[in-house]
Chain A
Amino acid sequence: MSRPGFVLEVDDRTPPLLVHNGEGFLLERFPLGTRVVYPPEALPAVRDVEEAIQNALLNPIDSEPLPELLRPGMRLTIAFDDISLPLPPMKKPDIRQRVIEAVLTMAADAGVDDVELISANALHRRLTANELRDIVGERVFRSFYPDGKLYNFDAEDAANLTHLGQTKHGEDVEISKRAAESDLLVYVNVNLVAMDGGHKSTSIGLASYKSLKHHHNSHTMIHSRSFMDHKASKMHHSAWRMGEVLTQHVKVFQIETTLNNDIFGGPLEFLQKREWEWSIKDQASMLSAKRGLALAPAKMRRKIFQDVRANYGLTGINAGAIEPVHEKTIEAVHRQHLVEVQGQSDVAIMGVPFVGPYNVNSVMNPILAACMGLGYYFNSYRGNPIVRKDGAVILYHPVDYEFSQLHHPSYVDFFEEVLSESTDPATIEAKFEKQYAEDPWYIHLYRTSNAYHGVHPFYMWYWISHALDHCGDIVWVGANRKTVERMGFRSASTLQDALEMVSHSVGRSPSITYLHNPPHLLADVR
């Protein structure tokens, strides 16, 4: 499906274009001829969400209707995607809440009383009580949380893990004991990008380090092209193999939901329009937002962005057996995100916004900024990367030296200790990963506080290994020079300087593509 309208070529009538830049944005004039790839406009949303949910649960794909799977005396576990999705968080009620309420209603009707709800956070940080409440809603929260029946998955709680066996490649499948011993495991997913869902939900979300290390490593991740394409992603191949083992032991009822691109509303609505279509009102909002942000103290600026709640509309919900359900999900995600792009370019430009999957209600530290740009956005392609082999990537983000000690304690150490020794993913994996993964302090903070697991920064770094391997130059505009250098990149104060710096590898008049996200897009590079 061709959507030529979403790709624009900068000419002398093109106004300056908006670029996300951490907790702020700027207007940049791009060189004439720059190709701008806009995210597709939001697809129309499902009008009656309740009806869509009922329909999915009662008419699942390759599965009996949910009520037929429920019986008194059974053990039912509902797992759901954690706070890393969607981005930014969605307005209440969260789609997960609606689905969980529907599932619980059917369970109650069937007389099921042994129910537990698990946030499938794998090695992500524990969600706070408030964050859990935001996802499942007040009623579910009050019914389950006080009795300990709604909780975060703990990948370090050896007594509550079950080893289900190995894949034919010798990969361990070790997941939540409760999930493994349930008569039915219902997974409630919310899919924003093509990377999520499918076997990734249960066999990654509920798995331990022992299991995750088989695919969350530099080798697998460098060979996953791209993460947004589960058929081309080695990480997904591994997760799919694990899923086979898992589903042999546990009956899984997978519920996947897809959202549209309707992210910014109200005074920030201009952020998802194309600049040349800005009305007088949009321009005024943009100017006042820009001025307001420039004047606001850092704390307030952060709050403004962290309070952003997206309007997302539901574009689809499918339930039943994991694989056919996920095929439907991918179709819906592609329908929303795919933009056809003709050919690779010498330079790709991306603005890194304020939020990524791993800094919700927190700080985007330098490693997360790198991961957001070079992991998330760089990998948002199908077919070929947007930039040619040995081409250059230019990113916007301040990359301040700022870390959350609460959420990312091992990141500081990773930045100071590991990156000062090497930035090569394979080298640091061999030398440091085990130490960080087994560090008792990180494990303690992961289990009792709200810290990402000690090994998490390694995964972030592995995630960018494909970009590191593919790109000749990586330059950050307007970033803290020291932090960027520590990560092995360069910094420039302006786009012109950045283009100058990369000219030795891409020439003086390179072809340039600016990926105008967020909202999210998936470049289908032909």
Chain B
Amino acid sequence: MMLALEMYRSPAKFLAAKAVGGRIPGILTGPAAPLRLVTINEPKSDKDGWARIRPILSGICGSDLGMVTSHTKLYFSALVSLPFVPGHEVVGELLEDCEDLPKGTRVVMDSVLTCAARGVEPCDGCSSGHTNLCDRITVGHVAPGLQTGFCSDTGGGWGNVMVAHRSQLYAVPEGLSDERAVLTEPLAGAVHTALRAKVEPGQSVLVSGAGAVGLFATLALRELTQAGRITVVAKHPKQRELARAFGASDVVAPDEVFRGVRRATGAFRLKPDLNAKEFLLGGVDVAVDAVGSKDSIDTVLRVTKAGGRVVLAGMPSTGADLSPVWFRELELTGTYASSRVEPNDRPAFETALELAATAPLDGIVGARYPLYRWREALDHAQSAGRLGTVKVAFDVRAS
């Protein structure tokens, strides 16, 4: 038996959470949340290549908050299996040998549950190394679930024990602290985003949002591409400071994006009639949306130059105006998780582990909570930007 946070099906709570979620901290993780602290059976590791892991630190991701507040789209309901233990940003310790990795190895995990983990013939995505595009995430000998942390069979980082497949695991180098290692999964996502953005030398980039996704994307763009000017949209003082430390050339407030990008790129600024939102002729070569809100997406589409590229790195909400995509012939692309074979021919996790070791990431895990203080932890994560925190994590061993 083990202690874990469990996401369970509760239509009434689902609706209640959706109604208030995100708006009133404290209530969203109060009685209405479809999450509970329980003692349950440990997940089993009886299939080939699977081993048990004891999580050490486990991050709270925006998608976790979306799930708890029921803001996640119904699109995803077919891709999870309830009840499940969330947590996919994990650094943990192997409780048993896992093929070539001996018991006791510290590992981080690529959470996508691909064909290899499911014991089925590799699909097109998996066989070409684009493991994040796997088409078999609901079949095989593992219950449906696009990732560990959304699957009822594997457990997740928010519990005392979980299981993972060898194909998901990367050994943590000696000397890399747990606080840095736990950032490997979001950093891998940022590596994927930066490389998918196909920024050519000297091109201008806008990153909308300076939460963990936006900040790490900025870092990865600066480290892995030869981007010219990187403009980051940040709301809070600490975010502005970090954006600069992570490589932003300039930082603008959300209500200053049009002004800032126009200045940075020498574009022309147009204001349509009535209350329609303005747009630029010209603008950045590449824009990365790391927020996902309608407002943010509307903005990035309107400040990207004709023929430019817009990368959706946050889970997008609906209702954005797609006129600019048509009129400006924008290339609109998404980035989900990360791949085993990235455009630089390496697994994103390997690059991410290098970044985790070298980037100025001290203090990025700004708060650690034991599992039983989960309500506080989620509240904190929900208001992280305002509170000057980038990443909140569960200290699972202290639980």
Cβ contact within 8 Å between A441 and B260 = no
Per the bound structure, the CA–CA distance linking A439 and B256 in Å amounts to 18
Q: Which of A407-428 contact B (CB under 8 A)?
A: 412-413, 416-417
Given the complex, which residues of B lie within 8 Å of A444, measured CB to CB?
Answer: 268
Contact flags (1/0) for B261-279 with A, using CB distance below 8 Å? Answer: 0110011110000000000
Given the complex, which residues of A lie within 8 Å of B262, measured CB to CB?
Answer: 413, 441
Per the bound structure, the CA–CA distance linking A412 and B256 in Å amounts to 11
Is A267 interfacial (CB-CB < 8 Å)?
Answer: no
Per the bound structure, the CA–CA distance linking A30 and B320 in Å amounts to 59
Is A440 interfacial (CB-CB < 8 Å)?
Answer: yes
Given the complex, which residues of B lie within 8 Å of A412, measured CB to CB?
Answer: 259
Cβ contact within 8 Å between B259 and A441 = no
Query: Closest CB of chain A to B255's CB: distance in Å?
Result: 10
Closest to B280 in A: A441
Cβ contact within 8 Å between B256 and A441 = no
Cβ contact within 8 Å between B269 and A417 = no
Closest to B253 in A: A416
Q: Is the interface of A mostly helix, strand, loop or mixed?
A: helix
Given the complex, which residues of B lie within 8 Å of A438, measured CB to CB?
Answer: 266
Cβ contact within 8 Å between B266 and A413 = no
Cβ contact within 8 Å between A416 and B259 = yes
Query: Closest CB of chain B to A415's CB: distance in Å?
Result: 10
Given the complex, which residues of A lie within 8 Å of B259, measured CB to CB?
Answer: 412-413, 416
Contact flags (1/0) for B331-344 with A, using CB distance below 8 Å? Answer: 00000000000000
Query: Closest CB of chain A to B260's CB: distance in Å?
Result: 7
Given the complex, which residues of A lie within 8 Å of B269, measured CB to CB?
Answer: 441
Query: Closest CB of chain A to B266's CB: distance in Å?
Result: 5
Query: Closest CB of chain B to A412's CB: distance in Å?
Result: 7
Question: Quick one: which of A413, A416, A417, A441 contacts B268, CB cutoff 8 A?
Answer: A441
Query: Closest CB of chain A to B321's CB: distance in Å?
Result: 23
Q: Which of B179-218 contact A (CB under 8 A)?
A: none
Closest to A438 in B: B266
Interface residues on A, range: 10 to 19
Contact flags (1/0) for B244-265 with A, using CB distance below 8 Å? Answer: 0000001000001001101100
Query: Closest CB of chain A to B230's CB: distance in Å?
Result: 15
Cβ contact within 8 Å between B256 and A416 = yes
Closest to A440 in B: B266
Per the bound structure, the CA–CA distance linking A440 and B262 in Å amounts to 10
Given the complex, which residues of B lie within 8 Å of A435, measured CB to CB?
Answer: 263, 266
Per the bound structure, the CA–CA distance linking A157 and B266 in Å amounts to 19
Per the bound structure, the CA–CA distance linking A441 and B262 in Å amounts to 8
Per the bound structure, the CA–CA distance linking A412 and B258 in Å amounts to 12
Per the bound structure, the CA–CA distance linking A59 and B262 in Å amounts to 55
Per the bound structure, the CA–CA distance linking A407 and B269 in Å amounts to 15
Given the complex, which residues of B lie within 8 Å of A439, measured CB to CB?
Answer: 263, 266
Closest to A414 in B: B263
Query: Closest CB of chain B to A456's CB: distance in Å?
Result: 15
Given the complex, which residues of A lie within 8 Å of B263, measured CB to CB?
Answer: 413, 417, 435, 439
Per the bound structure, the CA–CA distance linking A326 and B269 in Å amounts to 44
Per the bound structure, the CA–CA distance linking A439 and B269 in Å amounts to 12
Closest to B269 in A: A441
Contact flags (1/0) for A432-444 with B, using CB distance below 8 Å? Answer: 0001001111001
Residue from B259, B263, B266 with most neighbouring chain A CB atoms (10 Å):
B263
Cβ contact within 8 Å between A440 and B256 = no
Query: Closest CB of chain A to B302's CB: distance in Å?
Result: 15
Q: Which of A108-130 contact B (CB under 8 A)?
A: none
Given the complex, which residues of B lie within 8 Å of A416, measured CB to CB?
Answer: 256, 259-260
Given the complex, which residues of A lie within 8 Å of B256, measured CB to CB?
Answer: 416
Given the complex, which residues of A lie within 8 Å of B266, measured CB to CB?
Answer: 435, 438-441
Query: Closest CB of chain B to A439's CB: distance in Å?
Result: 5
Per the bound structure, the CA–CA distance linking A435 and B266 in Å amounts to 9
Given the complex, which residues of A lie within 8 Å of B268, measured CB to CB?
Answer: 440-441, 444
Per the bound structure, the CA–CA distance linking A444 and B270 in Å amounts to 12
Per the bound structure, the CA–CA distance linking A417 and B229 in Å amounts to 15
Per the bound structure, the CA–CA distance linking A440 and B268 in Å amounts to 8
Contact flags (1/0) for B285-305 with A, using CB distance below 8 Å? Answer: 000000000000000000000
Query: Closest CB of chain A to B335's CB: distance in Å?
Result: 30
Given the complex, which residues of A lie within 8 Å of B260, measured CB to CB?
Answer: 416-417
Per the bound structure, the CA–CA distance linking A417 and B250 in Å amounts to 9
Given the complex, which residues of B lie within 8 Å of A417, measured CB to CB?
Answer: 250, 260, 263
Per the bound structure, the CA–CA distance linking A416 and B259 in Å amounts to 9
Residue from A412, A417, A440 with most neighbouring chain B CB atoms (10 Å):
A417
Per the bound structure, the CA–CA distance linking A416 and B262 in Å amounts to 13
Given the complex, which residues of A lie within 8 Å of B267, measured CB to CB?
Answer: 441
Per the bound structure, the CA–CA distance linking A444 and B268 in Å amounts to 9
Per the bound structure, the CA–CA distance linking A412 and B266 in Å amounts to 15
Closest to B281 in A: A441
Per the bound structure, the CA–CA distance linking A410 and B196 in Å amounts to 35
Closest to A436 in B: B263
Per the bound structure, the CA–CA distance linking A440 and B259 in Å amounts to 14
Per the bound structure, the CA–CA distance linking A441 and B281 in Å amounts to 10
Query: Closest CB of chain A to B235's CB: distance in Å?
Result: 16
Q: Which of B42-95 contact A (CB under 8 A)?
A: none
Query: Closest CB of chain B to A177's CB: distance in Å?
Result: 27
Nearest 5 pairs between A and B by C-beta? A441-B268, A413-B263, A440-B266, A439-B266, A417-B263
- 6 more A-B contacts (CB under 8 A) besides A413-B259, A417-B260? A435-B263, A439-B263, A439-B266, A441-B266, A441-B268, A441-B269
23 sampled A-B residue pairs with Cβ under 8 A: A412-B259, A413-B259, A413-B262, A413-B263, A416-B256, A416-B259, A416-B260, A417-B250, A417-B260, A417-B263, A435-B263, A435-B266, A438-B266, A439-B263, A439-B266, A440-B266, A440-B268, A441-B262, A441-B266, A441-B267, A441-B268, A441-B269, A444-B268
